């Protein structure tokens, strides 16, 4: 079937497939398949579909309704500590497993580094603020922790030169670096967050000496690791962590 | 990738832990992003994909009224609409990393998920009986449903654009968008050829798209 006009633009039938897809108005799975095939093979069709969906979304936003007040709580009660992976095929699962193999060594190194961390303790900020202030001059940073229950975890470098402190509250996370040894121009320190069972996610590149980094609130059990990376940082860790702590 | 603040420098922000106003840590960037921009939503979804409950709370606040509105409008049963909203929000939680590939607004992404789920629900055998109890009769006069739809529309621009549709275009939009009917169901109800129904819906959506200045 000639699905396009002679000038290459979409035919009216093509548009009717796209509006049917946007409105979920098909009567048979075959129509949906044809529409999906069109969208995946024709960028112009994909763009029109996006346009139709944006148009419907404008109507949807104009007729939004507040859901029942208890729904938020019900939904949050269903959330795991970490998102469960979407269903995937066996071959995808094998590929995912294959790709994930090399990082086990890195995670084991992170876990080993965590052993050096002090036992976490949850204390009110007013009890430890004096101590923290002595470690960092950034009072403004600390002031936002006021009134929050803050979990404090410490870690230090294996040779004792340099340490890291994690301050975690429900509002956010602050990582403080202390006396980290200087490195050559070609390397930087970099922070990583690793959700329980997850892969390392690149975070801030940090300098030597003293520093602070702000991260969003992280789920309990998230590991914060510090590695030495090529200058500018990496998308995936290239070395084992020199320090790690669990928030 | 930018460097973190050094201990000696002042961040200059009075609420640096208010993570809503800045890029997610996962990107490694500290640049400010405009709340509401695609980049902002991508960042938020990236954090949700990492299991960040606070980021999901922000998504919930913004998207749940849109999702619930779609569900109530299509299902016409608030208990079932709540269930579908819950399903949709959990799907968003599980698939947040897919948002950046959708190349559209966060609302279009969520609306597409919600519309599919709500329509699945009303078309399933299980829901069919319950649907008969819905306070919605498809044979009601279009004008009445039109009035209801217009009364709910909380946007002058959208109201004005809906007003540009012809009566017959509006019928088909109401049946599909508002009633969740298929092309063939509309044709049967309106006693119109299927080709005419498809043509009217296409012209109606194209007119709305142009009127609403959707790219």
Domain residue spans in chain B?
19-132, 142-211
Q: How many C-beta atoms lie closer than 10 Å to residue A139's C-beta? A: 11
Helix H or strand E encompassing A168: strand A163-168
CB-based contact, A185 to chain B, within 8 Å: no
pLDDT of residue A17: 97
pLDDT at A39 over 50: yes
- Rounded to whole angstroms, the Cα distance separating B103 from B93 reads 18
The answer to whether residues A113 and A227 belong to one domain is yes
Of A62, A67, A79, the CB nearest to B82: A67
- Pick the more confident residue, A180 or B79: B79
Q: How confident is the model at residue A192 (pLDDT cuts 50, 70, 90)?
A: confident
CB of A207 within 8 Å of a chain B CB? The answer is: yes
**Subunit contact B19:A172, Cβ cutoff 8 A:** yes
Q: Which one of A21, A25, A190 would you mutate to disrupt binding with B, by most B Cβ within 10 Å of its Cβ?
A: A25
pLDDT value for B200: 97
Average model confidence (pLDDT) for chain A?
Answer: 74
Separation between Cα atoms, residue A18 and residue B202, nearest integer Å? 9
Rounded Cα distance, B200 and B176, in Å:
11
- Among A56, A83, A137, the residue with its CB nearest the CB of B111 is A56
Q: What is the pLDDT along chain B (215 residues), one digit of tens a residue?
A: 333 433 333 333 333 233 333 333 333 333 456 767 888 899 999 999 999 999 999 999 999 999 999 999 888 888 999 999 999 999 999 999 999 777 789 999 999 999 999 999 988 854 456 455 554 444 444 555 566 666 667 788 998 999 999 999 998 998 899 888 999 999 998 999 999 999 999 999 999 999 998 87
Which pLDDT value is given to residue B7?
Answer: 36
Give me A101's structure tokens.
Answer: 């193999």
Give contacts of B178 with chain A, Cβ < 8 Å: none
Answer positive or negative: Cα dihedral of B36, A72, A222, A90. Answer: negative
Give the range among A34-38, A105-109, A188-192, B115-119 with minimum mean pLDDT: A105-109
Q: Do residue A107 and residue A221 come from a single domain? A: yes
The contacts of residue A117 (CB under 8 Å, 6+ apart) are A153, A154, A155, A244, A245, A246
| Eight-class DSSP state of B3 | B
Q: Are residues A233 and A126 in the same domain?
A: yes
Is the minimum CB–CB distance between A157 and chain B shorter than 8 Å? Answer: no
Q: Nearest C-alpha of chain B: how many angstroms from A158? A: 22
Mean pLDDT, residues A117-130 taken together: 36
CB contact (8 A) between residue A19 and residue B201 = yes
Contact between residue A227 and residue A239 where contact means Cβ atoms under 8 Å apart: yes
Query: Is some CB atom of chain B closer than 8 A to the CB atom of A66?
Result: yes
- The number of folded domains in chain A is 2
pLDDT score recorded for residue A8: 59
Check if A82 contacts B (Cβ < 8 Å): yes
Tokens 């200059």, residue?
B12
- Same domain, yes or no: A196 and A131: yes
Give A10's strand partners. A4
In the structure encoding, which two tokens stand for residue A114, read together? Answer: 């965590």
Q: How far is CA A120 from CA A77, A81, A223, B99, B213, in A?
A: 25, 19, 13, 35, 54
Contact state of A71 with B82 under an 8 Å Cβ cutoff? yes
Indicate the range of A7-16, A191-200, B78-87, B135-144 predicted with least confidence: B135-144
Query: Cβ of B111 and A202 within 8 Å?
Result: no
Nearest-neighbour CA in chain A from B61: distance (Å): 9
The Cα–Cα gap between B70 and A67 comes to 11
Residues A59 and A62: their CA atoms lie apart, in Å, by: 5
Among the partner residues A55, A201, A207, nearest to B3 by beta-carbon distance: A207
Q: Which residues make beta-bridge pairs with A178?
A: A163
**Cβ atoms of B43 and B33 closer than 8 Å:** yes
Reported confidence tier of residue A37, pLDDT bands at 50, 70, 90: very high
What is the least distance, in Å, from the CA of B98 to any CA of chain A? 11
> Is the same domain home to A123 and A198?
yes
Residue A5, pLDDT score: 59
Which A residues 109-128 touch B at CB under 8 Å?
none
Give residue A32's domain range: 12-62
Q: Are residues B183 and A212, on separate chains, in Cβ contact within 8 Å?
A: no
* Mean pLDDT, rounded, for A182-210: 83
Q: What ipTM is given for this predicted complex? A: 0.79
Closest CA to B158 of B169, B166, B167, B149: B149
Whether A56 sits inside 8 A of B199 (CB atoms) is: no
Q: Is 90 exceeded by the pLDDT of residue A104?
A: no
Which one of A12, A30, A55, A199 would you mutate to disrupt binding with B, by most B Cβ within 10 Å of its Cβ?
A: A55
The answer, for A201 touching chain B at a CB cutoff of 8 Å, is: yes
- Put simply, the answer to whether B202 touches A12 (Cβ < 8 Å) is yes
Q: Do A140 and B10 contact (CB within 8 A), yes or no?
A: yes
Residues A86, B94: Cα–Cα separation, whole Å = 7
CB contact under 8 A, A53 and B116: no
Question: For residue A120, how many other CB atoms are within 10 A of its CB?
Answer: 15
d(CA A141, CA A157): 24
Q: Do B212 and A22 touch (CB under 8 A)?
A: no
For residues A107 and A50, membership in a common domain is answered with no
- Confidence category of residue A163, pLDDT binned at 50, 70, 90: confident
What CATH number belongs to B19-132? Answer: 1.10.1740.10
Same domain, A33 and A106: no
Tokens of A58: 């404008």
Residue B176 and residue B165 in contact, taking contact as beta carbons nearer than 8 Å: no
The two three-digit tokens of residue B186, written as one number: 């509309």
Cα A48 to Cα A13: distance, rounded to the nearest angstrom = 13
Closest residue in B to A233 (Cα) is: B1
Residue of A nearest to B181 (CA): A25
The verdict on residue A88 lying in a domain is no
| Multiple choice CATH, B142-211, 1.10.10.10, 3.40.50.300, 3.30.2350.10, 1.10.3720.10 | 1.10.10.10
- Specify the DSSP element, H or E, that contains A243: strand A243-246
Other C-beta atoms lying within 10 Å of the C-beta of residue A138: 23
Q: What is the pLDDT of residue B30?
A: 37
CA distance B57 to B67: 15
Q: Are residues A145 and A242 in the same domain?
A: yes
Across the interface, whether the CB atoms of B24 and A216 are under 8 A apart is answered yes
Q: Specify whether A58 is located in the same domain as A108.
A: no
Which residues lie below 8 Å from residue A144, measured CB to CB, with a gap of 6+?
A171, A172, B14, B15, B16, B17
**A78 inside domain:** no
Same topology, domains B19-132 and B142-211? Answer is: no
Q: Which ranges constitute the DSSP H helices of B52-154?
A: 53-75, 78-94, 106-123, 125-132, 142-152
Which burial class, exposed, middle or buried, applies to B174 when counting CB atoms under 10 A from its CB (0-12, 13-18, 19+)?
buried
From residue B40, give the alpha-carbon distance in Å to each of B1, B14, B45: 17, 20, 9
Q: How far is A17 from chain B (nearest CA, A)?
A: 9
Q: How confident is the model at residue A4 (pLDDT cuts 50, 70, 90)?
A: low
């Amino acid at each position: 079937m000639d699905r396009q006009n002679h000038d290459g633009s979409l035919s009216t039938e093509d548009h009717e497939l796209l509006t049917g897809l946007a409105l979920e108005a098909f009567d048979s799975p075959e129509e949906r398949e044809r529409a999906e095939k069109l969208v995946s093979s024709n960028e112009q069709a994909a763009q029109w579909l996006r346009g139709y969906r944006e148009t419907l979304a404008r109507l949807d936003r104009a007729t939004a309704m507040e859901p029942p007040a208890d729904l938020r709580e019900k939904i949050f009660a269903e959330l795991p500590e970490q998102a469960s992976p979407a269903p995937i095929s066996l071959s995808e699962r094998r590929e995912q497993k294959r790709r994930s193999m090399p990082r086990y060594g890195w995670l084991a190194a992170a876990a080993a580094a965590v052993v050096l961390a002090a036992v976490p303790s949850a204390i009110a900020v007013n009890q430890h603020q004096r101590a923290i202030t002595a470690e960092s001059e950034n009072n403004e940073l600390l002031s936002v922790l006021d009134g929050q229950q803050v979990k404090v975890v410490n870690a230090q470098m294996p040779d004792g030169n340099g340490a890291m402190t994690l301050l975690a509250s429900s509002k956010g996370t602050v990582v403080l670096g202390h006396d980290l040894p200087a490195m050559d121009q070609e390397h930087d320190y970099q922070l990583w967050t690793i959700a329980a069972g997850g892969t390392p996610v690149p975070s801030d590149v940090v300098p030597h000496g003293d520093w602070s980094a702000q991260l969003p609130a992280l789920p309990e059990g998230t590991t914060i690791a510090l590695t030495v990376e090529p200058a500018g940082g990496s998308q995936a860790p290239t070395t084992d962590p020199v320090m790690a702590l669990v928030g | 990738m930018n460097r973190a603040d050094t201990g000696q420098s002042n961040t200059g922000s009075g609420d640096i832990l208010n993570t809503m106003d800045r890029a997610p840590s996962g990107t490694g960037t500290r640049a400010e992003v405009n709340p509401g921009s695609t980049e902002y939503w991508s960042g938020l979804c990236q954090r949700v994909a990492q299991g960040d409950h606070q980021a999901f709370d922000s998504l919930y606040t913004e998207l749940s009224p849109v999702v619930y509105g779609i569900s109530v409008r299509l299902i016409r049963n608030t208990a079932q609409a709540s269930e579908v909203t819950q399903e949709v929000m959990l799907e968003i939680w599980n698939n947040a990393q897919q948002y950046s590939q959708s190349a559209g607004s966060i609302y279009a992404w969520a609306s597409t998920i919600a519309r599919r789920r709500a329509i699945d629900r009303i078309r399933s055998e299980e829901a069919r009986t319950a649907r008969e109890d819905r306070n919605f009769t498809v044979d009601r006069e279009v004008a009445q449903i039109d009035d209801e739809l217009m009364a709910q529309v909380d946007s002058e621009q959208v109201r004005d654009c809906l007003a540009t549709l012809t009566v017959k275009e509006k019928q088909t939009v109401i049946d599909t968008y508002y009633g969740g009917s298929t092309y063939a169901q509309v044709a049967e109800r309106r006693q119109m050829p299927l080709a005419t129904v498809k043509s009217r819906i296409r012209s109606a959506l194209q007119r709305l798209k142009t009127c609403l200045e959707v790219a």
